């Protein structure tokens, strides 16, 4: 349930919201068979979003620059505790979002590239 709630929150926050919603649905569908009907539509939407994220060099560059900006912001916020919400809790969240974005970008690229060949 926590995965599902976190995924829903990350739909509007930086992070892999759709994939966490899918993971949450997969976990709770074992206990609640009625939730299983939502797994396939969410899986299709998540895979479509993964394909679209690497559909052009411009999108890949944009995602990579966003990851770099999140990493820089995380380091900045971590090292500047006098900023609003400054300190390592905020910085670590931004750095984690950056790393997740890079991991999802690599996953999307490999998945898309593998399906084309």
Yes or no: say if 59 and 39 are a contact pair by the CB < 8 Å rule: no
- For residue 72, what pLDDT is reported? 96
**Residue 11: per-residue pLDDT:** 73
For residue 117, pLDDT beyond 60:
no
Q: Distance from CA of residue 21 to its chain's centroid?
A: 10
Tokens of 106: 């690599």
Does residue 29 surpass a pLDDT of 80?
yes
pLDDT, tens digit, 9 for 90 and up, residues 99-111: 988 888 888 888 8
- The model's pLDDT over 43-76, given as tens digits with 9 standing for 90+, comes to 898 888 878 878 889 988 988 998 999 999 999 9
Nearest to 19 by CA among 110, 82, 107, 115: 107
Specify the pLDDT at position 114.
Answer: 65
User: Of the candidates 58, 61, 84, which has an alpha carbon nearest to the alpha carbon of residue 73?
Assistant: 84
Interval 77-87 mean pLDDT: 91
DSSP, res 83: S
């Amino acid at each position: 349930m926590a995965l599902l709630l976190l995924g829903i929150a990350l739909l509007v926050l930086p992070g892999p919201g759709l994939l966490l919603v899918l993971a949450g649905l997969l976990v709770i569908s074992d206990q609640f068979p009625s939730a299983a009907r939502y797994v396939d539509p969410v899986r299709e939407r998540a895979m479509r979003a993964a394909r679209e994220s690497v559909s052009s060099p411009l999108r890949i560059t944009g995602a990579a620059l966003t990851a770099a900006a999140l990493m820089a912001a995380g380091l900045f916020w971590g090292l500047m505790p006098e900023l609003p919400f400054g300190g390592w809790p905020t910085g670590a969240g931004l750095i984690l979002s950056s790393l997740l974005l890079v991991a999802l970008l690599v996953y999307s690229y490999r998945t898309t590239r593998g399906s084309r060949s």
